[in-house]
Chains A and B, each alone.
Chain A
Amino acid sequence: MSESSSPLEPSAASAGGPACCPIAPAEIDASCRLPLVVIFLCAAVWLVLGSAFELVASLKFHAPGFLADAAWLTYGRVRPAATNCLLYGFCMPAGLGVALWLLARLGRTRLAGPGLAAIGAGCWNLGVAAGVGGILAGGSTGFENLEMPSYAARLVFLGYLMIVVWAVLTFHHRRERRLFVSQWFLFVALFWFPWIGSTADLLLLTFRVRGIAQAVIAWWYTDNLLVVWLGLVGLGAVFYFVPKLTGRELQSRYLALLTFWMLILFGSWGGIPASAPVPAWLPVSSAVATGLGVVGVVAVALNVYGTLDGQCSKLMSHPSLQFIGFGVVAFVIGGLMSAAGALSEVSHVTQFTWFTVARGLVNSYGFFVMVMFGAIYYIVPQLVGLEFPSAKLVRAHFWTAAAGSLLVVVPLAAGGIVQGFKLQDANIPFSDVAHSTLPFLRASTTGDLLIALGHLMFLGNLAGLVVRYYRARAVSAWAAATAEIKPAEVSP
């Protein structure tokens, strides 16, 4: 196999392609600077907004009347607003930003169309703003994870295309022809979303299908977005950063490709809940595919463990690695939770409970968001050539995020199991079931608070870095503009 198994910096031997004049990494970073700064900064703002909405939603379990008299702050609007801020405000653009940078770096080529990609990011964020505003105003579509009204969803979709076309061109123009596994994951993710997004938009919002087929398509979309898209981008980053930051080779390219195949072949068949009022073959095949997906999860665990050579303490050596290591562990736990949920004995208890929410959070927050934090903490200093204003704040963010996500997920999962067993016993009145989950939900509020605190630290640090960089540039530009002109320079 002639494929490279390491993302380490250019070896002279890699000149299989037309590497007439290798482009320095700094030059590649400079080409990525504008779009990535726009993308990451906006994403951080959505993260803070999202956790504010999440806190409001969470506080309603302490007092149902809290902020209940304003229509736009009712639970059924704030909760989807929070998830949409997280998913479309942070996860997807951050993933795209990381993908742009990785494709440029791994292809050893400049980012194509950086300015236009930044405009695409603007379009995306405009769409998310319209979408979140639309949800709060009561324009939700009613489909889970697809709540943004159609006008906003189309802006978001357009923004996605405007960013991704440059990612594909960058991939096409790569000077390093040999592919690293991360590129497999990222490249496939790029075009996965246009397909699922357009299907969902056309069949659910534009030309509505009839009856419960709507729900089936919504479940299919959700699964392909949350499991496959987030999985592809997140794992693409993991397989790049873990070897890179530990200075080792990825243990097995074949294990990584096994993960890739399992994810796109079986991950895309999940998502139909066992309870769904649809013909039985749908939930059954979904459960089988989810169960098989565990092979890919185990392959990730083995691969990362092998790459670290069993020395997991190495994950603590670099702040970015801490986040990414946490993400890998969460990915494995989330995968095992999903596989367990595929068993009908388990899904019988966990369906309709907070356990499914906890499982979703392990995947989307514990895995994906944490990996993105790690990647952004590594990438942005490279882009601007400066270190983060406060390294302490980065470490503090890790600990608040780690503790916060544990404090959200563990109570929700435990509460969900209690809720599930009580729901199965018809002798327990429903109000008792609802009340038994309240202590768990209230405990998870502390986790939400910690997470929100971490997001503020992240935004502060990132904004501080960007401001510092652009101020330095403005100062030097001002100095250059106002510099005294020496007579020698104006002489003919």
Chain B
Amino acid sequence: MNYGPLVFLAAFFALATSWCGFVLTPQLQIGRLPQAHTVGGAASTYPVARPGLAQQGMEVYRANGCAACHSQQVGQTGTVLEIALTEAGTNQPATIAALLTLAEGSTDHAPALSLLAPVPSAPSNSTNATILAGLPRAFLRSSTREAANAAIKTLDATSAKAQLWIVPVGPDLARGWGERRSVAEDYLFDRTVMPGSQRVGPDLANLGARLPDANWHLRHLYAPRLEVKGSVMPPYRFLFEKRKIKDRQSPEALALPGDLAPGDGYEIVPTQAAQALVAYLTDLHADAPLFNAPMTRPATAEATTSTNAPAAPGTASTNAAPTHAAAP
């Protein structure tokens, strides 16, 4: 019996379903994705096309196989709700009392108490006026919407103002690799999408926001261990040029210490490829809040990084000024 045609049809059917499932449908669903609108705050469209030099840099990134070691996709394990105090209000003793009550009810007291940092010795003596520094600041994490709303109501009753922040969490985000998970929109305008499958080096999805300094990147490409101690990244000196200083040193020349410095009368300058690559690396941003990956970006940068980091002195925003004045 001749099963040849049957085998052919079977395979045709199997591959056709797979093709429809993993080629056609994704193309219909995400291949024609329009620009998204950001949510929260001032709405804008996302993403925007990269500048020309950064687009050239992406070609350098592709040609040298940077994606063999670096992924460009961050994940998150979930989101938590954070309650942030935005204004201390006029009735401060009541606010502080409410804060202390809320802190006692939560498992992690530190963030709430850190708002009352200047008088840590006597936090229980809530009637004493204290300084509420570094507002707006998140002070309480809550996993359910109900608990969060109840906390906000408690604070609202004291004339203070509180907000609910959506904060994505996960190990990638805790490493500072991003502020939310990567979504399909992030790659919309990339000519070649290189999400990467290996993390020999750190994830680069949000590198531009993390390390915006172009000179840092140039020095790091030339001699990785100069900037990152014990880095396993190979140096990319072929992206640089050693040349004789003619009249005066080029403003682009790398400032290199000790034995890395070229000989007298010479300088190390980045080539066009290195400049383009760095323009690309510093252009990597995947941090716009979107409908399908919501997050709240607070007004002050310091407050976003971590809720339990102590407020650095001098970061108090203008909101805190009246509080200072009210303190005796």
Interface residues of A (CB under 8 A from B): 2-3, 60-61, 64-66, 68-71, 74-77, 79-80, 138-144, 147, 171-172, 177-179, 183-184, 187-188, 191-192, 195-196, 199, 203, 208-217, 219-220, 224, 261, 264-265, 268-269, 271-273, 275-279, 282, 285-286, 352-354, 356-357, 419, 423-426, 430-431, 434-435, 437-438
Tell me the minimal C-beta distance from A382 to chain B in angstroms.
26
Instruction: State whether B19 touches A177 (Cβ < 8 A).
Output: no
Which residues of A have CB within 8 Å of B195? 212, 215, 276-277
Which residues of B have CB within 8 Å of A224? 15, 18
27 A/B residue pairs, CB under 8 Å, sorted by A: A64-B234, A76-B65, A76-B66, A76-B69, A80-B65, A142-B67, A144-B197, A178-B1, A179-B2, A179-B4, A187-B8, A188-B11, A191-B8, A210-B33, A211-B185, A213-B27, A215-B195, A217-B26, A220-B22, A272-B22, A275-B75, A276-B195, A277-B187, A279-B184, A352-B71, A352-B199, A430-B175
Instruction: State whether B199 touches A211 (Cβ < 8 A).
Output: no
Q: Tell me if B's interface is mostly helix, strand, loop or mixed.
A: loop
Instruction: State whether B186 touches A277 (Cβ < 8 A).
Output: yes
Instruction: State whether B14 touches A212 (Cβ < 8 A).
Output: no
Which residues of A have CB within 8 Å of B237? 68-69
Residue in contact with A431 in the complex, picked from B11, B187, B197, B231, CB distance below 8 Å: B231
Residue in contact with B26 in the complex, picked from A77, A192, A196, A282, CB distance below 8 Å: A282
Docked pose: A7 CA to B199 CA in angstroms: 46
Residue in contact with A75 in the complex, picked from B62, B69, B196, B197, CB distance below 8 Å: B69
Instruction: State whether B236 touches A431 (Cβ < 8 A).
Output: no
Instruction: State whether B64 touches A138 (Cβ < 8 A).
Output: yes
Interface residues of B (CB under 8 A from A): 1-4, 7-8, 10-11, 14-15, 17-19, 21-23, 26-27, 29-33, 62-69, 71, 73, 75, 171, 174-175, 181-202, 224, 228-238
Instruction: State whether B63 touches A268 (Cβ < 8 A).
Output: no
Name the residue in A69, A215, A276 with the highest tally of chain B Cβ atoms < 10 Å from its Cβ: A215
Docked pose: A443 CA to B197 CA in angstroms: 22
Name the residue in A76, A195, A208 with the highest tally of chain B Cβ atoms < 10 Å from its Cβ: A76
Tell me the minimal C-beta distance from B230 to chain A in angstroms.
6
Tell me the minimal C-beta distance from B180 to chain A in angstroms.
11
Docked pose: A315 CA to B186 CA in angstroms: 52
Instruction: State whether A65 touches B171 (Cβ < 8 A).
Output: no
Instruction: State whether B18 touches A220 (Cβ < 8 A).
Output: yes
Which residues of A have CB within 8 Å of B186? 212, 277
Instruction: State whether A268 touches B27 (Cβ < 8 A).
Output: no
Instruction: State whether A65 touches B235 (Cβ < 8 A).
Output: yes
Which of chain A's residues has its CB closest to B32's CB?
A210
Q: Tell me if A's interface is mostly helix, strand, loop or mixed.
A: helix
CB contact under 8 A between A79 and B26, given known A211-B187, A352-B199: no
Docked pose: A271 CA to B23 CA in angstroms: 12
Instruction: State whether A434 touches B22 (Cβ < 8 A).
Output: no
Docked pose: A285 CA to B26 CA in angstroms: 13
Instruction: State whether B192 touches A142 (Cβ < 8 A).
Output: yes
Which of chain A's residues has its CB closest to B26's CB?
A216
Docked pose: A196 CA to B16 CA in angstroms: 10
Docked pose: A92 CA to B111 CA in angstroms: 59
Other than the known A3-B1, A187-B7, what 12 A-B pairs have Cβ atoms closer than 8 Å? A61-B232, A71-B64, A74-B65, A74-B238, A75-B69, A77-B64, A80-B68, A184-B7, A192-B15, A215-B195, A268-B14, A425-B171
Tell me the minimal C-beta distance from B259 to chain A in angstroms.
13
Instruction: State whether A179 touches B187 (Cβ < 8 A).
Output: no
Instruction: State whether A143 touches B235 (Cβ < 8 A).
Output: no
Instruction: State whether A187 touches B4 (Cβ < 8 A).
Output: yes
Tell me the minimal C-beta distance from A178 to chain B in angstroms.
7
Tell me the minimal C-beta distance from B60 to chain A in angstroms.
9
Residue in contact with B30 in the complex, picked from A188, A213, A425, CB distance below 8 Å: A213
Instruction: State whether A70 touches B31 (Cβ < 8 A).
Output: no
CB contact under 8 A between A277 and B14, given known A68-B234, A77-B64, A187-B4: no
Which residues of B have CB within 8 Å of A61? 232
Name the residue in A65, A214, A438 with the highest tally of chain B Cβ atoms < 10 Å from its Cβ: A214
Instruction: State whether A74 touches B15 (Cβ < 8 A).
Output: no
Which residues of A have CB within 8 Å of B197? 144, 273, 352, 356
Instruction: State whether A352 touches B232 (Cβ < 8 A).
Output: no
Instruction: State whether B193 touches A75 (Cβ < 8 A).
Output: no
Tell me the minimal C-beta distance from A359 to chain B in angstroms.
11
Docked pose: A238 CA to B151 CA in angstroms: 66
Name the residue in A187, A271, A278 with the highest tally of chain B Cβ atoms < 10 Å from its Cβ: A278
Which residues of B have CB within 8 Å of A211? 30-31, 33, 184-185, 187-190, 193
Residue in contact with B183 in the complex, picked from A269, A277, A425, CB distance below 8 Å: A277
Which residues of A have CB within 8 Å of B71? 352
Tell me the minimal C-beta distance from A229 to chain B in angstroms.
11
Which of chain A's residues has its CB closest to B31's CB?
A213
Which residues of A have CB within 8 Å of B224? 64
Which residues of B have CB within 8 Å of A431? 228-231
CB contact under 8 A between A209 and B238, given known A269-B22, A277-B187, A279-B184: no
Which residues of A have CB within 8 Å of B196? 352
Tell me the minimal C-beta distance from A320 to chain B in angstroms.
27
Which residues of B have CB within 8 Å of A215? 187, 193, 195
Tell me the minimal C-beta distance from A220 to chain B in angstroms.
4
Which residues of B have CB within 8 Å of A276? 73, 195
Residue in contact with B65 in the complex, picked from A60, A68, A79, CB distance below 8 Å: A79
Tell me the minimal C-beta distance from B309 to chain A in angstroms.
14
Tell me the minimal C-beta distance from A118 to chain B in angstroms.
26
